Amino acid sequence: MLTIILVLVVFSMLILIHEAGHLLAAKKLDVEVEVFSLGFGKRLCGVKAGGTDYRISLFPFGGYVKMAGEDPSEAKGGSGELSSKPAGHRFWIIAAGALTNYIFAFILFSVIFMIGVPTLSNEVGQVLKDYPAEKAGVKVGDSILSINGKEVEYWDDIVETIKEESAGDGPVLDIEIMRDGELMALGVEPEILHVTNIFGQTISRPMIGIAPRSKILSVSYDPFRAVYFGGRRLLVLTGMTYKGIWLLLTGGMPLKTSVSGPIGIAHLMGEAARLGIVPLLIIMAHVSMALAIFNLLPFPVLDGGHIIFLALEKVRGRPLSVGVQEIITQVALVLLIVFALFVSWQDLLKFTPLGGK
């Protein structure tokens, strides 16, 4: 029960951060914000300030912002209405929600690197039989200190350095290890294997046949390096997300096994919460980034769809008629609901007894 409450709180917080972005941008650009609500449904309590009703509603999951003139069919032409503002102003108000989620993800990743990010040590936990490492004499318990003169402190360093050095001219890797307090140098020639990556693609990868010991270190950094690593992690994940979306659209990655919705995310969030605060923050950062990217997709109903309408308005010199926008939005809403139901059913099969697990 506590896990369910925690998941609801986290989801609500991320959605409220998104809506707060719309609120702040609207206030800055002199658009009247009628309601800023925590939750949906009947108003339970709240306070009115600056012309806005800040309220708590009956169903405290997520929230919303209601701006004057947001619905073109209800617009009266007032100067404080969203529809009366220039296209550039409306763009920033629409995009602000996703940008706020993205900034929040960056802050979370930076905090994670300051607190201490879970990292595998440089100690070998498994040596695969008949692979290059075994043939060269690597043993379980060895600590890898350097590869071709490059120091490696954590397992991620080892993986990345093997990949980089194997792409060079010299096929043999000079690996320095520590075994029982004694320094040793070994020459290992990687095998190039064809493996499947996280996108379901077959790629070539150098392997020497070792696996890490399940020894998790908590590695923290000073604020400046934490911000650098946090930003780098966010950019890498953003690139991977857009690559995944492209592969889904082009059929390069299966939809059934590659996409998760609220049920799958809630499951992962619950599992992370049991492991501690840092794993939970990592999941929160991923979800906040995903919300930003998803909301900016050029699909009607989403913020990205509204931006497409704005772009068409700039090109045509006038907005699409209210009727056309409503038809497009209704069709898109049906498609989005069908997609959400499909993803939710796949999540139920993956994460509940319905899938036979």
CA dist 320 and 232 (Å) reads: 40
Q: Could you give all domains of the chain from N- to C-terminal order, each with its CATH number?
A: 86-116+230-355 (no CATH), 121-219 (2.30.42.10)
Number of H helices and E strands in the chain, helices first, is 10, 12
Quick check: 36 and 19 in contact, CB under 8 A? Answer: yes
| pLDDT recorded at residue 357 | 53
Q: Is 153 a catalytic residue?
A: no
CA distance 288 to 138: 42
Print the SS3 string covering 27-40.
HHCCCCEEEEEEEE
Question: Both tokens of residue 295?
Answer: 């909301």
Each residue's pLDDT expressed in tens, for the chain with a length of 357 residues: 667 778 788 888 899 999 999 999 999 999 999 999 988 889 999 999 988 999 999 887 778 999 998 877 777 778 888 988 898 999 999 999 999 999 999 999 999 999 998 899 999 999 999 899 999 999 999 999 999 999 999 999 999 999 888 875 557 889 999 998 899 999 998 988 876 766 666 777 888 999 998 878 888 999 999 999 999 999 999 999 998 888 888 877 777 777 788 888 888 888 887 878 888 899 999 999 999 999 999 998 899 999 999 999 888 888 888 888 889 989 999 999 999 889 888 888 887 776 665
Dig out the tokens for 26 from the structure. 């609207």
Region of residue 69 (phi > 0: left; psi between -120 and 50: alpha; otherwise: beta): left
User: Among 19, 70, 81, 176, which one carries the catalytic annotation?
Assistant: 19
pTM of the model: 0.85
The token pair that represents 121 in the structure block: 């040590």
Cβ atoms of 185 and 174 within 8 Å: the answer is yes
> Would you tell me how many other CB atoms lie within 10 Å of the CB of residue 96?
22
